[in-house]
Amino acid sequence: MNSLTQPTIPTGSGFESKSHYGSGFFQMRIKLPPRDSAGVVTAFYLTSKGNTHDEVDFEFLGNRQGKPTAIQTNVFTNGQGGREQKFVLWFDPTTSFHTYGQTYGVYVDKVPIRVFKNNKRSGVNYPSKPMQLETSLWNGEAWATNGGKDKINWAYAPFKAQFQGFSDYGCHVNGQSNIANVCGSTKYWWNTRTYSRLSANEQKAMENVRAKYMNYDYCSDRPRYPVPPSECRWNI
């Protein structure tokens, strides 16, 4: 369990895996802070850290009590992010545990909501560095809820998120850097053809979620990106 109490400066808490990974399937069961959690961000992500890091994020954006929780996904490659997609969750993530997973796609309770392909033709080589799994709970009131207009109500502190059931299906690369050679083999089930693409049922489920619940896609944000980023032609 992680908790956030009123700080003198913006702060938070978290934990990380001891191991570094080059590929794999990672999931965690998470229960978000209850009641009024506007401005509070709960995150579950893989990151290589540093100025040129790779990263894939789940960020849960707290809200006023009774209003829906948003989930933001983002991908960093070689230190460059700006690939946000946001969804309104179709359930209350504060009342029970739900499963969030990452591999070829990003999953919520086994339903894919996003894919991001490692495609050198589009200039995206991801992941290219060993990454650790991290979770965190932190003060994001400057931007997380209603564009930063809704601040944290510290009367509801401490804010507590609960984590359980981490599944470590990963290629361990502690002390190694050439992850393509070490972790790209089809001896790992997540690298086989079956898991390198969505099934027809998964594709249909993802299209349904995106049509009903996605409320932001960087690939469609023309004021921000007059020319869509190159990977948008390959990724949904």
The answer to whether residue 202 is catalytic is no
At residue 124's C-alpha, the angle toward residues 23 and 211, to 5°, is 85
> Strand (E) positions, 64-188?
70-76, 85-88, 98-102, 105-108, 111-115, 132-139, 159-172
Task: Answer for the pair 132, 44: CB distance below 8 angstroms, yes or no.
Answer: no
Q: What's the number of CA atoms in the CB half-sphere (13 Å) around residue 228?
A: 14
- Which of 16, 59, 84, 202 is the catalytic position? 59
- Which of 16, 55, 141, 202 is the catalytic position? 55
**Amino acid at the residue 168:** D
Instruction: Quote helix, strand, coil % in the chain, to nearest 5.
Output: 15, 40, 45
Closest to 23 in 3D by CA, of 210, 187, 161, 144: 187
The answer to whether residue 141 is catalytic is no
- How many Å apart are CA 118 and CA 225, to the nearest integer? 21
DSSP structural state of residue 64: S
Alpha carbon 223 to chain centroid distance? 24
Residues known to be catalytic: 55, 59
